[in-house]
């Protein structure tokens, strides 16, 4: 009966998975979509080859299909974890130099599978049995099969723990996405646990392919209903580091407790300087008066090399013994200051000759209006004659 149910359900689930693959294929190059695509592809392969194994009439062909199935299922946990890491903003962890240890369970599983005829520790026995009208594989698992299963479970659970952590601290809109990710993964995981540990002894057929495929369909619900691939949560730590403005956080004792990358570049400090007094940071000297006792909200201008920054100081609750910390945001105002300086110069009182109209510069030189204005602004002059001067200088020229 369970084989009949399996053969009936599988074509429909395969079709839905193909639709999902087509749905996300155009977004392959966007972020973690490629990992989700490979996850779906491995799930589809697992389901298809398990289906073909049951339909095959040649015993050797059944065994080959079963081996391909195990390769597909070994690829699912690492692609699941890669997608979770990328989706939750831990993108540096997806680099091969960092992630390669996570590929060990897949290599371990495939290596045991290929060398099983030598040691028989993965599959200790393989038989063909008649189940109703179907001839099915009956596999007895060896001790290393369970070792491989535990390693793959560890990857799946690691991904679930990361998702759970994001679920409890994330926004509501992200929780909906994470819910479908979690449920989809748990369906596949629990269906495999039921089969591997024979929790339902009356069920002889391995429904893991169907469970994983149904879980992938639940991912599809998240994609369709909640924009799983369009709306990706970005960790606040990443936003903090990606700000163009420098940010410095100090505690109640005025020690530097956090800085973002922009502030490190502006103030020439690094993570080794965390814990030092903010008063040791010379470029911020104009701000120190706002930090001496209680933090006073305000702004101050500081110069670093040839650049000018507006530093906005805001109090930060949670300081020791009621003493507040502070957040300082450094915004580059170099260009704005230059423009203000030009405007201020031209708006000031200009010493001008009452007769020739020359203007005295700050250096004491008398310059024509054209020269002075050109040097203190971006204005340029073109020369001509107004109607009155034209009449005075060329009275014979027709005014028309």
Summarize pLDDT for 253-299 with one digit per residue, the tens: 788 888 888 998 898 888 788 888 888 888 888 888 877 767 778 88
44 and 118 co-located in one domain? yes
Domain membership flag for residue 160: yes
Q: 275 in a domain, yes or no?
A: yes
Q: Which of 211, 233, 255 is the last residue of a domain?
A: 233
- If asked whether residues 87 and 34 sit together in one domain, one would say yes
| Residues of the chain below pLDDT 50 | 319-321
Give the integer Cα–Cα distance in Å for 156 and 134: 33
Structure token digits, residue 128: 């063909």
Task: Give a yes or no: residue 342 inside a domain.
Answer: no
Q: For position 305, what pLDDT does the model report? A: 83
Same domain? For 269 and 159 the reply is no
- Shared domain for 222 and 241, answered yes or no, is no
> Of the residues 198, 233, 268, which one is the last residue of a structural domain?
233
Residue pointed to by tokens 């748990």: 186
Q: What is the CATH classification number for the domain harbouring 95?
A: 1.20.1070
Question: Is residue 294 in some structural domain?
Answer: yes
Tokens 């490190």 correspond to what residue?
Answer: 264
> Within this chain, do residues 97 and 214 fall inside the same structural domain, yes or no?
yes
- Kindly give the interhelix angle for 2-24 and 33-55, rounded to the nearest 10 degrees: 150
d(CA 369, CA 380): 11
* Residue 44 and residue 173 in one domain: yes
Residue 398 belongs to some domain of the structure: no
Q: Is 280 inside any structural domain?
A: yes
Report the CATH number that the domain containing residue 321 is assigned in CATH. Answer: 3.30.450.20
pLDDT (0 to 100) of residue 230: 55
Closest by CA position to 113, among listed 141, 138, 137: 141
Same domain, 242 and 222: no
For residue 76, is it within any domain? yes
Model pLDDT, residue 256: 87
Same domain, 145 and 242: no
pLDDT reported for residue 320: 44
Q: pTM of the full predicted structure? A: 0.62
One domain for residues 150 and 270: no
Q: Which long-range contacts (CB under 8 A, 24 or more apart) does 53-61 make?
A: 53/137, 54/3, 54/6, 54/7, 54/134, 54/136, 57/135, 59/128
Q: Are residues 220 and 252 in the same domain?
A: no
Give the residue numbers spanning the domain of 369.
349-393
What pLDDT sits at residue 176? Answer: 74
| Overall domain count for the chain | 3
Q: Are residues 260 and 229 in the same domain?
A: no
Residues 163, 28 within the same domain: yes
Establish if 400 belongs to a structural domain. no
Task: State which of 233, 253, 288 marks the end of a domain.
Answer: 233
pLDDT tens per residue across span 333-367? 988 877 776 655 566 677 888 888 888 877 788 88
Q: Which two tokens stand for residue 146?
A: 């369970």
């Amino acid at each position: 009966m369970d084989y009949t149910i399996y053969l009936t359900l599988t074509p429909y689930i395969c079709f839905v998975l193909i639709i999902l693959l087509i749905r996300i294929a155009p977004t392959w190059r966007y972020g973690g979509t490629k990992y989700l695509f490979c996850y779906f592809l491995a799930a589809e392969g697992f389901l298809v080859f398990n289906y073909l194994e049951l339909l095959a009439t040649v015993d050797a062909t059944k065994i080959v299909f079963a081996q391909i199935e195990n390769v597909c299922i070994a690829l699912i946990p690492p692609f699941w974890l890669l997608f979770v890491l990328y989706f939750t903003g831990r993108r540096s962890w997806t680099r091969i130099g960092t992630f390669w240890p996570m590929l060990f369970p897949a290599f371990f599983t495939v290596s045991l599978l290929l060398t099983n005829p030598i040691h028989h520790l993965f599959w200790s026995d393989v038989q063909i049995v008649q189940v109703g009208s179907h001839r099915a594989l009956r596999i007895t698992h060896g001790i290393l099969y369970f070792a491989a299963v535990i390693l793959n479970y560890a990857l799946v659970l690691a991904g679930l723990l990361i998702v759970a952590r994001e679920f409890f601290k994330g926004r509501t809109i992200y929780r909906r996405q994470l819910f479908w990710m979690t449920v989809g993964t748990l369906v596949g995981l629990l269906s495999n646990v039921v089969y591997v540990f024979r929790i339902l002894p009356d069920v002889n057929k391995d429904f893991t392919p169907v469970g994983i495929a149904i879980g992938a369909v639940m991912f599809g619900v998240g994609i369709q209903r909640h924009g799983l691939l369009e709306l990706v949560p970005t960790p606040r730590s990443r936003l903090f580091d990606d700000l163009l403005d420098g940010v410095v956080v100090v505690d109640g004792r005025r020690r530097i407790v956090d800085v973002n990358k922009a502030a490190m570049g502006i103030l020439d400090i690094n993570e080794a300087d965390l814990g030092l007094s903010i008063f040791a940071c010379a470029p911020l000297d104009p701000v120190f008066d706002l930090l001496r006792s209680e933090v006073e909200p305000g702004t101050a201008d500081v110069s670093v090399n040839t650049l000018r920054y507006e530093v906005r100081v805001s109090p930060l609750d949670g300081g020791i013994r009621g003493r507040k910390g502070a957040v300082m945001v450094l915004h580059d105002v170099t260009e704005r200051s230059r423009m203000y300086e030009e405007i201020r110069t031209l708006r000031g009182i200009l010493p001008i000759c009452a007769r020739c109209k020359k203007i005295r510069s700050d250096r004491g030189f008398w310059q024509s209006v054209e020269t002075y204005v050109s040097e203190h602004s971006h204005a340029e002059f073109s020369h001509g004659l107004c109607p009155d001067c034209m009449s005075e200088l060329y009275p014979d020229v027709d005014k028309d």
